């Protein structure tokens, strides 16, 4: 459908022109996370200040879904409180699991382009990789 095509374009745009790719110079938490099913890994750098995610960047190798998701995740959580970032991650996990998800609390923006991933169970771990890294970085981690 046209919507699927649009979503594919959004994913490819984030893959080819990743937002927030690179290192963070200052005082940051770095989390290495790998997808055990394929061995791809990402490195997430977070600057957490006063209970907020002041900055986020990532690096790494992976498929288009994993890198697009990392790009979108960094865009989405920058400026959020740690608590909201975790809430956002849980909304994203609901989306990935094909459950009804709350699309009202946060501006989902480009993230909605990933909703089709729920139909491809093997790719769910690709999409959740960066979000799990973020949760680990702020001290929470969930199995999914």
Residues in contact with ligand FES by CB under 6 A are 35, 37-38, 40, 62-63, 65-66, 126, 129
Nearer to ligand FES, 35 or 71 (CB): 35
State the SS3 of the chain.
Answer: CHHHHHHHHHHHHHHHCCCCECCCCCCCEEEEEECCCCCCEEEEEEEEECCEEEEEEEEEECCHHHHHHHHHHHHHHCCCEHHHHHHHHHHHHHHHCCCCCCCCCCCCHHHHHHHHHHHCHHHHHHHHHHHHHHHHHCCCCCCC
Name the residue nearer to ligand FES (CB basis): 65 or 89: 65
Q: How far is the CB of 66 from ligand FES (least distance, A)?
A: 4
**CB of residue 17 to ligand FES, shortest distance in Å:** 18
Question: Can you tell me the distance from the alpha carbon of 11 to that of 4, in angstroms, rounded to the nearest whole number?
Answer: 11
Cβ-based nearer residue to ligand FES, 46 or 126 = 126
Nearer to ligand FES, 82 or 127 (CB): 127
**Min CB(126)–ligand FES separation in Å:** 3
Minimum CB separation from ligand FES for residue 65, in Å?
A: 5
């Amino acid at each position: 459908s046209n919507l699927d095509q649009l979503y594919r374009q959004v994913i490819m745009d984030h893959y080819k022109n990743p937002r927030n790719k690179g290192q963070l110079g200052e005082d940051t938490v770095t989390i290495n996370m790998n997808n055990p099913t394929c061995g791809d890994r990402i490195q997430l750098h977070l600057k957490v200040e006063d209970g907020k995610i002041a900055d986020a960047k990532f690096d790494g190798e992976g498929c288009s879904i994993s890198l697009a998701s990392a790009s979108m995740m960094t865009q989405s959580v920058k400026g959020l409180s740690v608590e909201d970032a975790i809430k956002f991650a849980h909304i994203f996990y609901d989306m990935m699991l094909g459950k009804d998800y709350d699309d009202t609390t946060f501006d989902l923006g480009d993230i909605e382009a990933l909703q089709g991933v729920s139909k491809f169970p093997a790719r769910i771990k690709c999409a959740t990789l960066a979000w799990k890294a973020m949760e680990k970085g702020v001290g929470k981690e969930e199995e999914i």
